Structure 1
Amino acid sequence: MNEQPRSLATALFPVGLLLIAMASIQSGASLAKSMFPIVGAQGTTTLRLIFASVIMLLLLRPWRAKLTAKSLRTVIIYGIALGGMNFLFYMSLRTVPLGIAVALEFTGPLAVAIYASRRAIDFLWIALAVCGLLLLIPTGATSSGIDLLGAGYALGAGVCWALYILFGQKAGADNGVQTAALGVMIAALFIAPVGIVHAGAALLTPSLIPVALAVAVLSTALPYTLEMVALTRMPARTFGTLMSVEPAFGALSGLLFLHEYLTLAQWLAILCIIMASVGATLTMASNAQPAVPAD
């Protein structure tokens, strides 16, 4: 009698963890946007990565990793891709609503999933993604179009996300979760000069410290931990499918915390990209790995 409820709870537990992780990431992005008036997107990215690297340094102790010249090169590229992804995503949030920025960024892992599958049905997912992108392009005098520069930043973050996936898989094969800590530390070193030049002494504003720490926990430390636990308790395909709904979490977070109201066309665009991501994940080759987000 108790076996069925227990098995149901076992199945739902990692799903719940993943939903909490997605909500945490998007809440962290909303909180990060409140720092923009003081230190800009550049300074916000710098503070998040510095605090996140300290947290992960303490938790994962990356100095135990065994690196060869080849694996070190892979980890460096992985870290630069991670830093670029965070930086470009925050740059896009200056002018693009959170849900739309997440949807545009998702084109990166979507492209990786489609490339990994290479089946005829993938043309359907490509068509859905293109429809979503077309719905977001400004047309004529309509006010529903998004800022093209901001959209470009979000798409650039998607490119970095694709590189993060490809090189993260190679780096993770050598040192596991310690790779994540090394990547965040390299990302912080890569982005810090940009944030320091842009924000200067404003980075030391005392009132920003607790906010930056909260962003680092919500956007990096907590979701990374929950995702790692969830990954060990569910199939990779299920993980990837669930992660595909993250643009919806972004849109809802933007609505709740930032009062970013989207048009019907923009909601349809997000839905198209979510459907493309879900479809590509469900039909990808069995040896393909899910895209673990780090934005």
Structure 2
Amino acid sequence: MILGSCTSLQFGAALAAQLFPALGSWGVTCLRLGIAAIVLLVLVRPAVRGWNGGQWRAVLAFGLALGAMNGSFYAAIERIPLGTAVAIEFLGPLVLSAILSRRAADLACVVLALAGIGMFGLESLAGAGALDPVGVLFALIAAVFWGFYVLASSHVGRQVPGQGGLAVALAIGALALLPLGAGGALTAVTRPGLLLLAVATALLASVIPYTLELAALRRLPRHVFGILLSLEPAIATIAGLVLLAQVPTVYGLLAVVLVVAASAGTTITARRAQSRGADDADRAARPAPSDGELETLPVDEYPAALSVQAIAEPEAVTGQFPVLDPQEHEADDVGGPDRP
């Protein structure tokens, strides 16, 4: 399920890149967030009238971070290869994890990831290829907002039960991007073929992967889940090769390997820190997490890899660890409201 999710997510991002010439990256981002918001709002029907000021502020910050993260990432993959952009973007959650944990092992993982990103610089110096500096800048901006997204999603998970906060945040993110993406979005509305591709992108990059991930979380320990998601840059490189004819260089492949190793390393060290002093045999015999254990992770325990969904839409993190309403949970065999 996790490998299927990662593959769907990255191929969805690659499909979105094919819409850029007609709609522009901001138009495609606005469409994707808007379609996802409509689907979630219809399915979840959040009780916004009962929200207080603190809840609204949390959701507003979440939506703005989500929109900026998605928009800048799509602007990046419009200019640089998909695998490269994903690798650079991973710096956001990796650095945040190191700052919050203060573990030497996490700092070492950040250094390893930086070494990987440095491979792109060596590639340019060796004359093997040069990256568009604007594209790199957008990827770095996306990394920064990914870090903000992690903090904001954790806060919303504590403040707003269920997926209501996520649904409204998606709508806020889409509205925030309208000044930049309205032209492209309107073009798609008047051209059914493009609109159909946009819907397919939303399905591949949102509906399918998040459904698979939520199901997988009920069967896998969270650290295993995080390690598998660390494969995202590698799968993004494959998607770029297959759909966009972006052939990676030796330097690019080495960069991806180092970033994947760094992301998996932060997840492994986080798991070891949590399990230190516990009985290994007891943990090995423990069954997969139940629905009630799928809670929002504390920010200081947030494995970097778990924020990966975003390649195009990391907003799923809140949905992966929903704060379940007891009454709602009793009425729903799968735990919480249905998700797209």
TM-score normalized by the length of structure 1: 0.88
Q: Which moved more, 1:95-104 or 1:130-139?
A: 130-139
How far apart in 1 are the matches of 2:49 and 2:5? Answer: 26
The aligned runs of 1:43-192 (5 Å cut-off) are 43-63=27-47, 66-137=50-121, 139-140=124-125, 142-173=127-158, 174-192=160-178
User: Mind listing any 5+ residue stretches in structure 2 that lack a counterpart?
Assistant: 275-297, 313-340
Name the SS of the counterpart of 1:26 in structure 2.
helix
Does residue 214 in structure 1 map to residue 169 in structure 2?
no
Percent identity over the alignment is: 37
Name the SS of the counterpart of 2:76 in structure 1.
helix
Which amino acid in the other structure matches residue 178 of structure 2? A
Does residue 289 in structure 1 map to residue 273 in structure 2?
no
Q: Which moved more, 1:31-40 or 1:177-186?
A: 177-186
Q: Is contact 1:113–1:281 with CA below 8 Å preserved after alignment?
A: no
Match of 2:224 in 1: 238
Q: Which moved more, 1:259-268 or 1:125-134?
A: 125-134
Q: Which moved more, 1:64-73 or 1:109-118?
A: 64-73
Q: Is contact 2:62–2:149 with CA below 8 Å preserved after alignment?
A: yes
Count of residues in correspondence between the two structures? 278
Q: Which runs of 4+ in 1 moved over 6 A?
A: none
How far apart in 2 are the matches of 1:73 and 1:36? Answer: 32
Q: Is contact 1:66–1:175 with CA below 8 Å preserved after alignment?
A: no
How far apart in 1 are the matches of 2:49 and 2:105? Answer: 41
Give the structure, 1 or 2, with the largest relative contact order (CA under 8 Å, sep 6 or more).
Answer: 1
Change beyond 3 A, Cα 1:65–1:255: farther
- Computed over aligned residues only, the root mean square deviation of the Cα atoms, in angstroms, reads 1.9
Q: Which moved more, 1:78-87 or 1:145-154?
A: 145-154
Does residue 199 in structure 1 map to residue 184 in structure 2?
yes
How far apart in 2 are the matches of 1:139 and 1:67? Answer: 51
TM-score normalized by the length of structure 2: 0.77
Kindly state the Cα deviation for residue 114 of structure 1 after the two structures are TM-superposed: 1.9
- 1:157-212 per-residue CA deviation (whole Å, 9 max, x = no partner) reads 1111111111101101232322221221111111122111x537423222211111
Does residue 275 in structure 1 map to residue 261 in structure 2?
yes
User: Mind listing any 5+ residue stretches in structure 1 that lack a counterpart?
Assistant: 1-16
Q: Which moved more, 1:212-221 or 1:263-272?
A: 212-221
Which amino acid in the other structure matches residue 157 of structure 1? A
